[in-house]
Amino acid sequence: MGRAGRAAAGLALAAVVALVVTGCGGGGGGSKDDGKPSASATGQPATGGSSASASPSATPTQILAQLKGQDDVMVTISSVVRDKDGFVTVQGSITNNGSSSFDAVAWRGQETALVRSGPSVAGAVLVDEAGKKRYYVLRDTDGRCLCTMGLVGIRPKETRPFFAQFPAPPQATTEVEFDLPTMPPAKITISDAKG
């Protein structure tokens, strides 16, 4: 095959690759929306708003509460927001100040149904003492928590972001207690989403 033939074959191949890449992109059918909240594969909170406010930040801009537990692990809560869809999203960071790697297996909680969530903050609970009610982490249709999962191998001095979504308490309830297995409870104040 001559130089011109090879060039033509190369252009044809490039055109086919471009078509294949274009055909694979985008949203697409087949996804079922049953109206229930869902978490994306990256473990981001399910929200109806912009993704900028949904992504947990590894460096919190404010500290609403800090929980210091065994093995020198610290949980910092930087955001507790009630959205218009009836959810409360708690965001913050987990810092391993200890000398050995940390796995959040105990934070999943004792409930058998949450085994699928693996090492996570699935066992977190919001307690409304005034209303005498407890709010558990929401789950998707597969029984996995709407929270950060895969919290294994957190190295010494490493910080990771986390989030957990809960049903929202009544609008009048602005202060709740955040409980996480093996950690001391912390009082947190719920703020309303802007906009």
With tokens 């992504």, the residue in question is 55
Q: Rounded to two decimals, what is the model's pTM?
A: 0.68
Residue 184 clears pLDDT 60, i.e. is over it = yes
The answer to whether 88 and 81 are in contact (CB under 8 A) is yes
Range list of H helices, the chain = 3-24, 51-54
pLDDT in tens, 104-116: 999 988 777 777 8
pLDDT in tens, 75-122: 999 999 999 889 999 999 999 999 999 999 999 887 777 778 889 999
Residue 5 clears pLDDT 50, i.e. is over it = no
pLDDT (0 to 100) of residue 71:
83
